[in-house]
Structure 1
Amino acid sequence: MLRFGTAGLRGPLREGPDGMNVTTVSRTTAGLADWLRERCLGGGAVVVGRDARHGSAEFATATAEIFAAAGFPVTVLPDPVPTPVVAFAVRELGAVAGVQITASHNPPADNGYKVYLDGGSQLIAPADSEIEKAIEAVVEPIAREAVSMSGADLVDRYLARVAQLPGLLGGPGARADVRIALTALHGVGGALAVRALAAAGFTDVHVVDEQFAPDPDFPTVAFPNPEEPGAADLLLALAERIDADVAIALDPDADRCALGLPGPGGWHMVRGDETGVLLADYVLRTRPTDPLVATTIVSSRLLSKLAAARTARYAETLTGFKWLARAGDGLVYAYEEAIGHCVDPTKVRDKDGISAAVAAADLVALLKAQGATLQDELDSYAVEFGLHAGDQVSLRLPDQAAASVLVAALRADPPSEIAGTPVKFTDQAQVRGRLRTDALIFDADDFRIVVRPSGTEPKLKCYLEVFAQVSEPDDLNNARQLAAQRLFELATFCRSLAGGKE
């Protein structure tokens, strides 16, 4: 059967207990309802939403009707909605749980069942294993009771919050002067993102028409993920054609946000680590009292240096927003390198691509009013903190078990040097405390590699970062060329782990 893991279920649409289907969704919902009642949360409010994937409407209806029959007042969000709206609604209503039917940026043949618990955060252990046991104990038949749509006002309340994010700094005039290219990648975030940007004062927004309307077949992309090669080509072409100030790509359920910028070689997408530090600095400009910023063990080390320079506290967690949202008191911003950003943790305790898009646009407006760009800001970080250049190698495998096998083999016989440089090996599975996980870290003076199996896809992921001191702006181009060569050498090593195939 599908295992109840990272935030819930995710898998291929097919019959049987190892696939996403109405039976699987029904049993999962009945088990979750039983688990909530066992903890004296029966009768508490539940929020249900969905994206526009194949099966999502049917799965959301089954989920809502089973909760209703089990005695839970259910708010069903109307029409397909971005995942962060569900996270917001759970927190806004004080609900005991929320379910979003989505497979995020997975291929078209997949769907999923994402769970939020009290407070609007993703579930963590031991809740996941306890719920899984409750699912296994479900006895058929499972009762259902009709439910009406009832959550339209929550979408409006979410939009109002995003449009007035704490720290909007660009100013009305500056925001009106920003031109934005936007793609929804056939997902559910397009219309809501345009509304949110307009409400915040950004009205010069141009969208990729071919990718704007929700389409579960994702016809223009091989994989509906802004990080995948080629996925943002139409966006970058639009940005160049309209002479945009910034390009913004949302993933299909709009909980992730990627940025594109112009450069000497044309428009290109920037890495999640770069966007992460830009947005962290933007949030910290509001100077909240004793702020905390957080990222994960696979992300760039640059945020730790920025935090120290901005007199902010810094924390690292395991990958995933179920950990980042719990990074500590005073959290004002968190990000993971996989283009996930949380710019408003008091209201949305998960990654949120739409609020991140508004914050990024406001930062563009602030800098443009000063005669600067996002690239200028990134260059200034390289001079202030040293160049931090990153890359990721994702090795697609037949199944998730194959990734674990590769990690086990590398753990049993780790290299003493990589690309001709001695490395220090750390097995995170042997680390005590909250950072213990199935990951391997290789550290050298000028680079770092983290290797781990994906928690949601059949992939082995390798996270690469190269460090270089930059004494003055004129040294940047040379430093970037040397870093690119170094990253190529590290990527070659990572591809060798799977026989050179990616």
Structure 2
Amino acid sequence: MDATELKDKAETWLRADPDPATVAELREVLARGDVADLADRFAGDLEFGTAGLRGVMGAGPNRMNRAVVRRTTAGLARYLKATVPDVARRGVVVGRDGRRLSAELAEDTARVLAAEGIPAHVFPSLVPTPLAAFATLHLNAAAGVMVTASHNPPEYNGFKVYWGNGAQIIPPHDKGIAAEIARVEPANQVRLLPVDEARARGLWNALPDSLGEEYLEAILRLRVHGRGSDSLRIVYTAMHGVGGVWMERALARAGFRHVHVVAEQHQPDGTFPTVRFPNPEEPGAMDLSLATARRVNADLVLANDPDADRLAVMIRGQDGALRMLTGNEVGVLLGHYVLARGAKQAAGATPHVVTTIVSSTQLGDMARELGAAYDEVLTGFKWIANRSLERERAEGTRFVFGYEEALGYCVGTVTRDKDGVGAALVFADLAAWCESRGTTVAGYLEEIQRRFGLYVSAQRNFTFPGAQGAQVIARIMEGLRASPPARVGSRTVRAVTDYKKGEKLPPSNVLAFELEGGGRVTARPSGTEPKIKYYFELKETPGPGEPVSAARARAEAQLQQFIDAFLALARERGQPEVTA
């Protein structure tokens, strides 16, 4: 589009934008004649997909704002009325986190639903995403909406949608909702019912505190060991998010007497003043947690992201030093604990565990030996949850655990999505069990690695923002697809899986390269951020009597060589020279 076309689009948007703040913002962009900024804002509509909507806040169709959310909610409401006959009885759950604009977006969502004749079950205060997921199931709602951008930087917000089964939406619902959104009238013509009128007509129902109590009781029942600790020292950070009060209550009720919160990050604050990127995986995000842990001599550090659906863990290593566990290590620990301890205590259906194609293959190795059903699915917890539901219906399996390496874990069926609060509680329970048997979490992990192998993994992410960035990411993927490497370093590529073909799973823009002698690298664009992601894994077997630390050092050196070799190949196929 040239400058004239962009200006015309902007003027059309301004006439329909109901929010004076974004109207003023866009007029300022027009006044300074910033064509590049306009081009990005009007590059297209913010895509409704993997987790509903997520994007940078601001004016324009390629941003998160009140105009976009009103039209999105109207499209969702109309799709629900067309596909869910009793939606007017069941209603839709609406929750929000502590980000900027979350309160306004949640209120707009509820008011549009009410205007469409759909009751909105509204959380009156900030809640973790897992509680919104729990409420969708617990209330038998037709759907759920959580206004959150999870772990994204402060300029982002989002609109996450759950279906009535409690899981995030998958095809055909995502496409059906998107098609309805495309047909919605301009935002300033979308009807909103006044809050007082919605309440009077039974179309705005404030959810009671008792619902949160029921959630806490449900996650407390997930524990395997079931006893807290008078001596285990735990540090917890909410990362400026909404998990703090819930995690404190859960750990206290579970009997953990020495819980120290990271005070600087404990209260919800959508500006995230101590971290640029409130994701525990990002460099520097855990610095305050580490400092607190050193001060109180902590045994365990638990961290949620801002909407508390993810969990990060630090433990004391066998050498006494604190170290961050990888997402795969947390998944392997929880998976083994639930399968080897919890699943044996429960009679009946075959236990079922699920992970993703970019997570460690070790969960599958353990599941096969421990007599559990196992699945690998596409990236995204929606696929984990929906696959567990499919096998429950078809085979009568019992879902006990699912995880993705990006710090997402779900124990049991309290929610059908990742739950950083419930998973943190079960991990603390695991640590207390280790303590009761005279070992540590690090010792337990080594027991697993000696039995099932030492898997080392790493991820490299490269960010390319904006419309031009999307083109760069597409060029990299197509370069790898058109000319897949025959070797990575010293290892031959024995198989290439192009998930875009949809041969084993639904089509997805993902490539996996499996190597002779063990090893895998997977490439995919992020579904929620302007990134391309590479996932690497190698397996090493500790020798008889060899310290696991020595085997780990050997494996990590090999992994780094593997990573360097693959990134060199990626650069030959379109990867710009940038830092991960």
TM-score range normalised by the length of the shorter chain? over 0.9
Taking structure 1 as reference, are residues 8 and 479 closer, same or farther at Cα in structure 2, changes over 3 Å only?
same
Distance 2:545 2:111 in 1: 61
Contact 1:383–1:472 under 8 Å retained in 2: no
Deviation at 1:432, TM superposition (A): 1.0
Match of 1:295 among 318, 339, 355: 355
Distance 1:473 1:339 in 2: 32
Distance 1:190 1:402 in 2: 39
Match of 1:32 in 2: 76
Distance 2:487 2:419 in 1: 39
Match of 1:64 among 110, 119, 122: 110
1:177-326 superposed matches below 5 A: 177-263=231-317, 264=319, 266-284=321-339, 285-286=341-342, 287=344, 288=346, 289=348, 290-326=350-386
Match of 2:436 in 1: 369
Aligned residue identity for 1:461: K
Aligned residue identity for 1:464: F
Aligned residue identity for 1:356: A
Match of 1:451 in 2: 523
Match of 1:482 in 2: 554
Match of 1:492 among 545, 564, 571: 564
Deviation at 1:431, TM superposition (A): 4.6
Aligned residue identity for 1:438: N
Deviation at 1:163, TM superposition (A): 2.0
Corresponding residue SS for 1:361:
helix
Distance 1:427 1:64 in 2: 41
Distance 1:265 1:449 in 2: 32
Corresponding residue SS for 1:437:
coil
Match of 1:466 among 538, 541, 558: 538
**Count of residues paired in the alignment:** 498
Distance 1:306 1:240 in 2: 34
Match of 1:333 in 2: 401
Match of 2:192 in 1: 144
1:342 lines up with 2:414 in the alignment? no
Deviation at 1:295, TM superposition (A): 0.4
Deviation at 1:169, TM superposition (A): 0.9
| Cα shift readout 1:238-259 (whole Å, capped 9, x = no counterpart) | 1122122210010110000010
Match of 1:125 among 158, 171, 178: 171
Q: What's the C-alpha RMSD, in Å, of the aligned pairs? A: 1.6
1:370-449 superposed matches below 5 A: 370-398=437-465, 399-424=469-494, 425-434=496-505, 436-444=507-515, 445-449=517-521
Aligned residue identity for 1:317: V
1:78 lines up with 2:149 in the alignment? no
Contact 1:42–1:71 under 8 Å retained in 2: no
Give 1 or 2 for the bigger CA radius of gyration: 2
Match of 2:159 in 1: 113
Contact 2:226–2:254 under 8 Å retained in 1: no
Distance 2:264 2:451 in 1: 41
TM-score (normalizing by structure 2): 0.83
Distance 2:336 2:130 in 1: 22
| Cα shift readout 1:105-129 (whole Å, capped 9, x = no counterpart) | 0111000000011121110011111
Corresponding residue SS for 1:177:
strand
Match of 1:3 in 2: 47
Match of 1:168 in 2: 224
Distance 1:20 1:234 in 2: 30
- Please say which of residues 96-105 and 36-45 is displaced more in the overlay: 36-45
Corresponding residue SS for 1:71:
coil
Match of 2:216 among 145, 150, 159: 159
Contact 1:106–1:225 under 8 Å retained in 2: yes
Larger relative helix fraction = 2
Distance 1:400 1:221 in 2: 26
Contact 1:75–1:151 under 8 Å retained in 2: no
Contact 1:10–1:112 under 8 Å retained in 2: yes
Corresponding residue SS for 1:325:
helix
Deviation at 1:342, TM superposition (A): 0.4
Match of 1:89 in 2: 135
Corresponding residue SS for 2:150:
coil
- Please say which of residues 262-271 and 4-13 is displaced more in the overlay: 262-271
Deviation at 1:177, TM superposition (A): 3.0
Contact 1:120–1:348 under 8 Å retained in 2: yes
Distance 1:414 1:479 in 2: 31
Deviation at 1:153, TM superposition (A): 2.2
Taking structure 1 as reference, are residues 25 and 473 closer, same or farther at Cα in structure 2, changes over 3 Å only?
farther
The sequence identity of aligned pairs, in percent, is 44
Aligned residue identity for 2:542: V
Corresponding residue SS for 1:391:
strand
